[in-house]
Amino acid sequence: MKIVLDQRNCKCWEPACESHFAWHFLREEITPVDCTTQIIDDGLPTLTFIILDRDGSDKTLIVDETNRADVSDSWRLAWEKQSAR
């Protein structure tokens, strides 16, 4: 599944965004939020997030069973860890 989020104009408080992310996107049923612009079922078992971030950058976060717990705690920290590899 590929999910595009545009947070550039989102008014959601950052800590709330972290918990919303896990609640809406990491459970069995994905439920869009205000910043969701696209959800594409690509048939893959991974979740690929394209995040147009408030800092002006585009971030790609790939979620699978190896990092789901980390992403559930904080998508930003999981992205930083994934980007460092």
Provide the domain count of the chain.
1
Confidence at residue 73, expressed as pLDDT on a 0 to 100 scale: 93
39-81 per-position pLDDT tens digit? 999 999 999 999 999 999 999 999 999 999 999 999 999 999 9
Confidence at residue 51, expressed as pLDDT on a 0 to 100 scale: 96
Name beta bridge partners: 63.
47
6-45 per-position pLDDT tens digit? 999 888 888 888 888 999 999 989 999 889 999 999 999 9
Domain residues for the domain of 69 are 2-84
Taking Cα atoms as reference points, which of 71, 72, 3 lies closest to residue 42? 3
Confidence at residue 28, expressed as pLDDT on a 0 to 100 scale: 87
From CA 57, how far away is CA 54, in angstroms rounded?
7
**DSSP state, residue 31:** -
Q: Which amino acid is at 81?
A: K
Confidence at residue 12, expressed as pLDDT on a 0 to 100 scale: 84
* Terminal Cα distance for the chain, rounded: 22
